[in-house]
């Protein structure tokens, strides 16, 4: 059981570690993953545990006791959070503007001195300007820093509070001593650092909100209200209720142009429905009574009465939102390593700052430059960028994937997917449509094809078997009415038997039987007919025979070949994977000819046929044993073991729930080109993570020694620190740029 909490008050990777530690201490918690970019905590309870109000209260109290804010996240929280974040951004902007207005005069003497003009504000004026910046606008750093000290650790706020307090305190001591020199006070340094940090946090917050746009975009697809039809009253008597109050069994009215509020079945009306949010297809789909509709899709020009089949919280759209949010809240393995580094980073910086102060004091023999250099070390070492480097990239990457119809269930799948070297495919329902089509129909005797096909359709009328539907579909496509056949009986292993009531075989018994069934029960007849269908069967198609039966005598009337057509995007998908340098493998339970019929035209690298579900998982393990990173693509229950055995499981959205639960990535629509797109997004996201980690470490590795040697002033250090966080987030947002389509 999992519970998501919204966390407030975190500023860097060290805060993440504190919150996780507090959550782990709550009884029943087996895992806690806190994401700085989304400000969410994903808490996993032990087996059999449930997120009862008491447990949630304990989790919230544990976080509050650690010095941070927390609240439970519900399914409809995202829109409210967006409004709250905008209000928070407005407050942050006012704080930045106030800090900038108070700090600007302090910089005046520095600016004028660069033009050779000696000017200095009176010390009491500088003190009056710097004090509200330090202790009013900068109070948040003292509060958060005190919490860190209480937890016997450090964070970004502690570094800012110590550094700016040192500069402010030294300046005040100098002012009280009456030292009247612009080089003896550093009010502008402490004020500028606080202003820059506030500005950096504002820009970072806005950029992070842009990164979370995928969630808000999905949430906006659900209408706020639904037209509930009161039971027992005419349809015109409907009332608007909040969509989240809908329950299964409710009847709602959907007017032209409105979004359907939740999943359901049409009771009345006919209309074209735009399902592009799920299918990616711009062409609307005609829906009529009995058709299923999905919440969030757009009704066309008709009026519909829909019987709700799922509450808004359990709708397809709500499940998609939860999947995306869960993926954005989880951590890939690399982030856990970064968190371990961050946990010891701040104490190490404090030691470096102390050594810097003592070393400069001994070398220079003066307190002022030694203290200023130590302040620069504290300011530039803030680990904000380090804490944001990975989660903000994951946040943007999963959002980009969701907009393309790719649901990534966890960050681990996104991280592993970048290294995939082999993609294994199931055949039926994955590379193929999963719906048999009558590919060829050939009469054997003298009767016209239309007459023979009408008899075959009559035998299959009323059957729900996929092959029967294929025969009826071909007859309907050719405008041929099914012949009336009575006494139709399905005999397992023998086929379908019935008596024709009219036409050339009136009163005669007709038999529809597979070639394998014919071979098993009438081997002599099958051997004589085999040459007629040898080439067709070598192509991998399955063959059935329509026969006239007189006692033990069978006369062939026609043969029909069934094939499962390959999905139209399969060739592009395989070509796209090859372009990425990835090998493709087909693992099918079908016979060799059928598997090769699909694999050969697509140019797949390897084929395994006649494979059992258990053997599929074994093949995946064997591929992994060759040091390949394997992704498995499947859609059925029989694919679940292989999906779980692969490094990355990819499930077709049209497949079974079992397959989707076993997979780390789900394709919302049956477009196979989403597979190379998903792997490409993973590669780009991984590249951004590496770039961001490099720059995050680069700022600190280069900046700290420069600051320790006195080559960076606190103002420059503050600018570099603020820019590092902003640049990391901005670099991650570049993932949202459109990529060239796969050829």
H or E segment at 716?
helix 714-733
Main-chain phi, psi angles of 21, to 5 degrees: -65, -40
Q: How many CA atoms does the CB half-sphere of 139 hold within 13 Å?
A: 5
Q: Residue 447 CB: number of other CB atoms within 10 A?
A: 15
The token pair that represents 721 in the structure block: 């620190």
| Cα–Cα distance for residue pair 556/541, rounded to 1 Å | 19
**Which SS3 state, helix, strand or coil, does residue 663 take?**
coil
| Contact between residue 332 and residue 412 where contact means Cβ atoms under 8 Å apart | yes
Q: Which of 426, 590, 635, 639 is catalytic?
A: 426
| Contact between residue 575 and residue 675 where contact means Cβ atoms under 8 Å apart | no
Instruction: Please return the burial class of 726, using the count of CB atoms within 10 Å of its CB with bins 0-12, 13-18 and 19+.
Output: buried
Q: How many CA atoms does the CB half-sphere of 6 hold within 13 Å?
A: 14
Instruction: Identify which of 403, 396, 352 has the alpha carbon closest to the alpha carbon of residue 378.
Output: 352
Residues 6+ apart with CB under 8 A from 426: 587, 588, 616, 632, 633, 634, 635, 636, 638, 639, 642
3-state secondary structure 405-435: CEEECCHHHHHHHCCCCEEEECHHHHHECCC
Residues 6+ apart with CB under 8 A from 606: 583, 584, 585, 586
| Cα–Cα distance for residue pair 675/247, rounded to 1 Å | 35
* Sheet strand arrangement including 298-299: 285-287, 271-274, 298-299
In the 8-state DSSP scheme, what is residue 227? E
| Cα–Cα distance for residue pair 330/335, rounded to 1 Å | 10
Residues 6+ apart with CB under 8 A from 164: 134, 138, 141, 189, 190, 193, 194, 375, 379, 714
Catalytic residue flag (residue 426): yes
H or E segment at 386?
helix 384-403
The token pair that represents 278 in the structure block: 């799920």
Q: How far is CA 246 from CA 227, 306, 309, 316, in A?
A: 10, 12, 10, 14
Positions marked active-site = 426
């Amino acid at each position: 059981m999992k519970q998501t909490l919204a966390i407030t008050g975190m500023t860097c990777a060290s805060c993440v570690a504190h919150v996780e530690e507090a959550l782990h201490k709550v009884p029943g918690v087996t895992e806690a993953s806190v994401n700085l970019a989304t400000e969410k905590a994903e808490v996993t309870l032990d087996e059999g545990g449930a997120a009862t109000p008491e447990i949630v209260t304990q989790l919230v109290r544990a976080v509050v006791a650690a010095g941070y804010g927390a609240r439970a996240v519900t399914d409809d929280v995202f829109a409210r959070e967006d409004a709250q974040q905008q209000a928070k951004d407005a407050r942050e902007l006012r704080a930045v503007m106030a800090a900038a207005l108070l700090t600007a005069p302090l910089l005046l003497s520095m600016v004028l001195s660069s033009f050779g003009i000696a000017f200095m504000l009176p010390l009491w004026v500088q003190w009056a300007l710097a004090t509200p910046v330090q202790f009013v606008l900068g109070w948040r750093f003292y509060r958060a820093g005190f919490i860190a000290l209480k937890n016997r650790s450090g964070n970004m706020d502690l570094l800012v509070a110590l550094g700016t307090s040192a500069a402010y305190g030294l300046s005040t001591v100098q002012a009280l001593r009456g030292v009247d020199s612009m080089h003896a006070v550093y009010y502008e340094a402490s004020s500028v650092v606080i202003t820059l940090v506030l500005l950096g946090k504002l820009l970072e917050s806005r950029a992070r909100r842009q990164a979370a746009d995928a969630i808000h975009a999905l949430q906006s697809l659900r209408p706020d209200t639904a037209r509930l039809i009161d039971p027992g009253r005419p349809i015109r008597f409907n009332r608007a209720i909040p969509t989240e109050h809908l329950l299964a069994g409710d009847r709602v009215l959907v007017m032209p142009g409105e979004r359907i509020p939740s999943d359901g079945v049409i009771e009345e009306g006919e209309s074209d429905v735009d399902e592009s949010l799920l299918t990616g297809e711009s062409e609307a789909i005609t829906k009529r009574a009995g058709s299923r509709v999905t919440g969030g899709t757009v009704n066309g020009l008709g009026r519909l009465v829909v019987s709700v089949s799922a509450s808004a919280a359990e709708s397809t759209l709500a499940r998609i939102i939860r999947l995306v949010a869960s993926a954005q809240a989880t951590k890939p393995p690399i982030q856990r390593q970064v968190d371990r580094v961050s946990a010891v980073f701040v104490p190490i910086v404090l030691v470096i700052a102390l050594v810097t102060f003592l070393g400069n004091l001994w070398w220079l023999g003066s307190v002022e430059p030694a203290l200023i250099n130590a302040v620069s070390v504290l300011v530039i070492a803030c680990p904000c960028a380090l804490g944001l480097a990975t989660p903000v990239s994951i946040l943007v990457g999963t959002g980009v994937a969701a907009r393309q119809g790719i649901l990534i269930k966890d960050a681990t799948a996104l991280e592993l997917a970048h290294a995939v070297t082999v993609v294994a495919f199931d055949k039926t329902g994955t590379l193929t449509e999963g719906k048999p089509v009558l590919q060829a129909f050939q009469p054997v005797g003298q009767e016209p094809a239309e007459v023979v096909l009408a008899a075959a359709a009559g035998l299959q009328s009323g059957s729900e078997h996929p092959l029967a539907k294929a025969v009826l579909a071909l007859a309907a496509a050719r405008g041929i009415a099914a012949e009336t056949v009575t006494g139709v009986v399905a005999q397992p292993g023998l086929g379908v038997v019935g008596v024709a009531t009219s036409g050339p075989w009136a009163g005669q018994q007709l038999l529809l039987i597979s070639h394998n069934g014919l071979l098993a029960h009438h081997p002599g007849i099958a051997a004589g007919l085999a040459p007629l269908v040898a080439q067709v069967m070598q192509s991998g198609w399955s063959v059935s025979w329509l026969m006239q039966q007189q006692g033990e005598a069978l006369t062939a009337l026609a043969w029909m070949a069934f094939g499962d057509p390959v999905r139209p995007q399969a060739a592009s998908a395989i070509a796209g994977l090859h372009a990425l340098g990835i090998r493709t493998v087909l693992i099918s339970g079908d016979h060799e000819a059928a598997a090769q019929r699909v694999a050969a035209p697509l140019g797949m690298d390897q084929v395994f046929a006649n494979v059992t579900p258990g053997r599929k998982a074994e093949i995946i393990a064997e591929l992994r044993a060759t040091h390949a990173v394997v992704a498995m693509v499947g859609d059925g229950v029989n694919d679940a073991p292989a999906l779980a055995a692969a490094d990355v499981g990819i499930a077709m959205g049209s497949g079974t729930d079992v397959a989707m639960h076993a997979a780390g990535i789900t394709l919302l629509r049956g477009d196979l080109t989403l597979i190379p797109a998903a792997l490409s997004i993973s590669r780009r996201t991984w590249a951004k993570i590496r770039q961001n980690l490099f720059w995050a470490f680069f700022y600190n590795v280069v900046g700290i020694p420069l600051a320790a040697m006195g080559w960076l002033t606190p103002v420059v250090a503050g600018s570099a620190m603020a820019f590092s966080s902003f640049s990391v987030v901005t670099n991650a947002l570049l993932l949202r740029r459109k990529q060239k389509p796969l050829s």
